[in-house]
Structure 1
Amino acid sequence: MRIFVINLKRSADRKVHIIKQLDNLNIAYEFIDAIDGQGLSDDEIKMHGVDTFPPWFSFNQRHLVKGEIGCILSHLGIYRKMIDEDIECACIFEDDCVFEKDLGIILKNEQLRRSDYELLLLGHSGQYQDTSRGAECSSKKEPVLSRYHIAKPVERPFGTYAYIIKQCAALKLLQYAYPLRLPMDCLTGHAQAIGVKLRILTPPIVTHNVTLGPSTINDRDSNSRLYVCKARRIKCMVGRKYPILRMIKKICLFPYVTLLLKLRKAGILDGDSYAEKRYFRQNSLAKYPQPPVPRNEK
């Protein structure tokens, strides 16, 4: 299994942070130059057919920010590298990860290698946005090491900062990614809708380092101009001015979301029923240029 670490050249502090952890794992790894979304021209963005998210008319429809586009292209570039170089399996890390002490053992675990997943998230979060808690999963779990298990998510798992992907999944995601209209973790989070065997490691063995500051991907919630619908832009501005309104909304939606989770965990609803295939309609890889194969950073 090849290990790739995505790092922006201008994020030297993150590179130092991740090197210290990777060296402790005593495993080989390769740095990959991330595509800096801030450096993409409008023509380059149009070339990849960037569309609005979600790819249907919605009150919440918005434009992707350049940071998101760079993130997507960085991950897709590794997928293309896997196919071009016939890499059967790869582990991908972003540069703000925090590893638990057992990660090195997990990556070499024979049970993990034999498991039938195609995409395994080592780090993730769910509705609570808690990377240490992770996304909710099925009660049916496959033990890997002491307290760690492989399980099927019953809600969309957020995050692409640490995962293992097999070539078959890389090919499927590459085929359905274009035109670019999904944030990277939406593409992977709904991957079960296109036949990818998505699993999560629970509890997560990788989290974020909050001391490194905000993600290099733009804060989309802070820019109301991203939203297509004028009413949604107003809602965004009001929510920032009066945070109590956002809290009330969460309180009102919580019982409904929790009920769906319980029904999926109990097997009354399909565990992957959260994954929506409409995110992947009207895909066409042939019309757009392939993401560039990333260069290995020296």
Structure 2
Amino acid sequence: MKIFVLSMLRSTDRRDAVRKLMAEHDLAFEFIDGVDGKEGSHPLLKKFKPSKFLIRHGRPSKPGEGGCYASHYLAWEKCVELDEPIVVLEDDFILRDCIHDVLAQVESLMPRYPFIRLEDNGPRLQKTVFERDGFELVKFLKIPQRTTCYAVSPRAAKAFLKSSDEFVYPVDVFLRHQNLHRVPLFGLSPRPVAPVDPTDENSEIGNRHAGKAPAWSKLTKLLFKVKNLFLNILTNIYHEIRGY
């Protein structure tokens, strides 16, 4: 499977760290030039709708969140263009020694399981699909946050693209709302990837909670949260019927 790392051209230190880490683990990869939401000139940023984001998410958006979503959008386009599963990484990750064994498992699983998360996630509402040879595949019933590393199939990538006419959530929240794209999300253990800084202190996006939200947005956030919770339950039932 081809590996793509999302990274902005200006992030030279991160790119150097990625090259060193991937060389240490003998992994071939390519950079996808990420979209700089702060710079604001990329065509995909026209899809980013801060007002709708505020209504749904209950806080002001950061320009970097639009860039992050657009960068993953480019990765999904690459997956569809190649017509084969790929691995997507953000450029702030740690690799564990199990990476090659996990990637071999993922490649065999992708025809059946269209999206497999490969990073740490902590305790989550999930069910075990199967265990074999020391590996565990789980179906997430409550999707973890973050998009540091995942494998995605063309079928899933097409669904994500089709459901992204507008960017109205952070990209990881969009993925969590399975009702928006209908793609079942899985995770594989042992997990070969972890974020460098799980607290987001060094994130390109910055402090997501720095801006003050209007009081009414708390109500709209609650309404959308209840709606998505209900629809996600229905989507999980739909996946169960289909055998996921």
TM-score by length of 2: 0.78
Q: Counterpart of 2:124?
A: 135
Q: Counterpart of 1:176?
A: 163
Identity %: 23
Question: Post-superposition shift, 1:92?
Answer: 0.3
The aligned amino acid for 1:98 is: I
2:61 to 59, 64, 68: 64
1:79 to 76, 81, 86: 76
Q: 1:88 to 1:221 in 2, by over 3 A?
A: same
CA–CA separation in structure 2 for the residues paired with 1:63 and 1:29: 35
CA–CA separation in structure 1 for the residues paired with 2:88 and 2:45: 27
- Match runs of 1:153-172 below 5 Å: 153-172=140-159
Structure whose CA Rg is larger: 1
Q: 1:114 to 1:94 in 2, by over 3 A?
A: closer
Question: Post-superposition shift, 1:210?
Answer: 2.4
TM-score by length of 1: 0.65
Q: 1:274 to 1:101 in 2, by over 3 A?
A: farther
Q: 1:82 to 1:231 in 2, by over 3 A?
A: closer
- Match runs of 1:1-298 below 5 Å: 1-40=1-40, 47-48=46-47, 50-52=49-51, 57=55, 61-83=58-80, 85-109=81-105, 112-113=108-109, 116-125=112-121, 133=122, 135-138=124-127, 140-143=128-131, 145-146=133-134, 148-191=135-178, 194-210=181-197, 214-224=202-212, 227-229=213-215, 273=233
Secondary structure (helix, strand or coil) at the match of 2:38 reads helix
Of 170-179 and 9-18, deviating more is 9-18
Q: 1:89 to 1:115 in 2, by over 3 A?
A: closer
CA–CA separation in structure 1 for the residues paired with 2:35 and 2:72: 9
CA–CA separation in structure 2 for the residues paired with 1:274 and 1:158: 20
The aligned amino acid for 1:217 is: I
Verify the 8 A CA contact 2:7 2:33 in the aligned structure 1.
yes
Question: Post-superposition shift, 1:11?
Answer: 1.8
The aligned amino acid for 2:117 is: L
Q: 1:145 to 1:72 in 2, by over 3 A?
A: farther
CA–CA separation in structure 1 for the residues paired with 2:82 and 2:36: 26
Q: 1:46 to 1:112 in 2, by over 3 A?
A: closer
Verify the 8 A CA contact 1:134 1:203 in the aligned structure 2.
no
Verify the 8 A CA contact 1:34 1:71 in the aligned structure 2.
yes
Structure 1 runs of 4+ aligned residues shifted over 6 Å read: none
CA deviations over 1:114-164 (Å, ceiling 9, x no partner): 662111110143xxxxxxx353421x2323552x31101121211111000
Question: Post-superposition shift, 1:192?
Answer: 5.6
Secondary structure (helix, strand or coil) at the match of 2:137 reads strand
The aligned amino acid for 1:107 is: L
Verify the 8 A CA contact 1:124 1:134 in the aligned structure 2.
no
Aligned residues: 223
Unaligned runs of 5+ in 1: 126-132, 233-269, 277-298
Of 25-34 and 160-169, deviating more is 25-34
CA–CA separation in structure 2 for the residues paired with 1:189 and 1:30: 26
Verify the 8 A CA contact 1:153 1:199 in the aligned structure 2.
yes
The aligned amino acid for 2:211 is: N
Question: Post-superposition shift, 1:44?
Answer: 5.8
CA–CA separation in structure 2 for the residues paired with 1:124 and 1:109: 17
Unaligned runs of 5+ in 2: 219-229, 237-244
CA–CA separation in structure 2 for the residues paired with 1:274 and 1:53: 24
The aligned amino acid for 2:79 is: M
